[in-house]
Structure 1
Amino acid sequence: MSSAILVTHTVLLALLAYLCGSCLGAVWLCRLNSLPDPRLRGSFNPGFSNMLRLYGKRLALATLAFDAGKAVPALWLAKGGGLPAWAQGVVGLGVLLGHSYPLWHRWRGGKAVASAFGVLLMLTPKVALLCAACWALLAWRIRTAAIASLASALLAPLASVWLAREYVWVVIVFALLVVLRHVWSIQRMGRGEELSLDDGKLRRREE
C-alpha cells in the first residue's frame, strides 16, 4: 500500500470513526425512554456512571455497551485493511474525539472512558480487560467513578508496555485524552464535591 493510499484510508476511516463516536448512547437511550437528558443532571456527563446514578443499572449497562460498541465498525475495517498500528490509533482517536466533542450533540460529549475501553478492546484486548478489571475493583472499593477512570487511564500505557508494545504511543495518547476530559472531576475532588456512585441510590429513593 502506497503512502498516499494509506493516508487516504486512514483519514476516511478516522472520519467514519468520529461520526460513530458522536452518537452518544446515554442521550439516545434517554430519548427512547422519554427521560431527561443526562447532561442536565447529576454529574452532567452522558456516560455509564451518571446513567447509573440517575436511571439505574439497566440503562447504565446499555449505555456502556453502546459506547464501547461504536468503536467496532471503523476499527474492524482498519484492522481488516491491514493498517499499521499508528493508523489504527488515529482511527481509534477519531472515536474518542467523536464521543468527547460530538457533532450531533452540539459538541457536548462525555469523558470517553467506555469508548476508550471499546477502542482498546479492538486494538489490545488484554490491556482493555486489565484496565476494566482495575476500574471495576476501584469503583467497587472506593465508589467514585472518576478515581477508577483516572487510575485505569494511567495503568493503560504501563500495561501496553508489557502486553502490546506496538501500541504504546497510541495508548498514551488515548490515556492523555481521558485524563484531560476528567479535569473538572479532578477539581471537584479537590473541593470534596465529586459524586459517589452511591449518590444515585439516595436520589432515586427520595424521588
Structure 2
Amino acid sequence: MFGILLVVLGYLAGSVSAGIVVARLMGLGDPRQGGSGNPGATNLLRLGGRKAAAITLIADGLKGVVPVLIAHLTGVSPWMLAAVGLAAFLGHLYPVFFGFRGGKGIATGLGVMLAWSWPVGLAVVGTWLVVAALARISSLAALLSFALAPVYCLVLIGSPALAAAAGAMAGLTAWRHRGNIRRIAAGTEPRIGKGK
C-alpha cells in the first residue's frame, strides 16, 4: 500500500505542469496555445525568453528528482523505484491537473534518471550534449539519449528494473516526438540556434 501511495504521489508531482504555471504567472497565456503548443522549456523560451525557460526547465527536472529521492529514502525495491520514476514521467506527459495535455518529458525524465542513479543520469546528459553539439538538433539528441538510457541502466548499475522503466520512457519519448521524427527524416527539423 505504501508503494502505491509513492507511485500516486509521483504521478501527481509530475502532473504539476511547470510551463503552464510559469506562463500564467508571467502573463504569457497558455503555452499550449502558442508557439509549438508544448508546455516545455523550449516553447517557453520562444514565448517568454530565457528566464521563463530556465525556471520551467529546473522545475520540470525537480518533478522527476523529488519523488524518486523520497522513494530512495524509504528503501523501496528497485522495481518500485522504477515505478515511481515512471509515474512522475507519465504525470508530466499526461497531467491530471491540466486536461492530460502535457509536455514531451525530457527535463522530467532526466530528473528521474539522475535521481535513480547519477552515473546513468550523467551518461544520458552527456549523450544529449554530444549529439546536440554534432547534429545541432535538440529533438534528435533527446531521442538518442533516451534510447540509450536502458543500456546505461544495465551496463553502469546492472538494474533490469530501471532499464525496463527507462525503455518505457524511451518509447513514450519517441511517440511524443513523432512529429519531430518526421521532420528529422525530411530534413526540415529546426537546428539549435535557428528558428522554425
Question: What is the deviation of 1:85?
Answer: 0.6
Corresponding residue number in structure 2 for 1:185: 180
RMSD: 1.8
**What TM-score, normalized by structure 1, do the two folds share?**
0.85
Structure 1 alignment gaps of length 5 or more: 1-7
Corresponding residue number in structure 1 for 2:54: 61
Corresponding residue number in structure 2 for 1:197: 192
Corresponding residue number in structure 2 for 1:43: 36
> How many angstroms apart in 2 are the aligned matches of 1:178 and 1:110?
10
Q: 1:148 aligned to 2:146?
A: no
Corresponding residue number in structure 2 for 1:4: none
Is the contact between residue 61 and residue 110 of structure 2 (CA under 8 Å) also seen in structure 1?
yes
> How many angstroms apart in 2 are the aligned matches of 1:114 and 1:168?
18
Whichever residue aligns with residue 31 of structure 1, its letter is: R
**3-state SS, counterpart of residue 70 of structure 1:** helix
Q: 1:79 aligned to 2:72?
A: yes
After superposing the two structures, state which structure 1 stretch, 103-112 or 57-66, moved more. 57-66
Question: What is the deviation of 1:136?
Answer: 2.4
Whichever residue aligns with residue 190 of structure 2, its letter is: L
> How many angstroms apart in 1 are the aligned matches of 2:6 and 2:146?
24
C-alpha change, 1:87 and 1:69, in structure 2 (3 Å) is same
Measured against aligned partners, the alpha-carbon deviations of 1:108-149 in whole angstroms (never above 9, x if no partner) come to 101111101000111011111111122123224433221111
The structure with the larger Rg is 1
Is the contact between residue 138 and residue 147 of structure 1 (CA under 8 Å) also seen in structure 2?
yes
> How many angstroms apart in 2 are the aligned matches of 1:30 and 1:126?
33
Measured against aligned partners, the alpha-carbon deviations of 1:5-47 in whole angstroms (never above 9, x if no partner) come to xxx1221111111111011111111111101322222222111
Counting aligned pairs with the same residue, the percent is: 36
C-alpha change, 1:184 and 1:10, in structure 2 (3 Å) is farther
Corresponding residue number in structure 2 for 1:107: 100
Is the contact between residue 65 and residue 114 of structure 2 (CA under 8 Å) also seen in structure 1?
no
Is the contact between residue 23 and residue 44 of structure 2 (CA under 8 Å) also seen in structure 1?
no
Q: Relative contact order (alpha carbons < 8 A, sep ≥ 6): 1 or 2 greater? A: 1
C-alpha change, 1:28 and 1:14, in structure 2 (3 Å) is same
Corresponding residue number in structure 1 for 2:63: 70
Structure 2 alignment gaps of length 5 or more: none
Question: What is the deviation of 1:192?
Answer: 4.1
Question: What is the deviation of 1:193?
Answer: 4.1
Measured against aligned partners, the alpha-carbon deviations of 1:157-195 in whole angstroms (never above 9, x if no partner) come to 122222121132222222222222212221233344433
Is the contact between residue 10 and residue 90 of structure 1 (CA under 8 Å) also seen in structure 2?
no
Whichever residue aligns with residue 146 of structure 1, its letter is: S
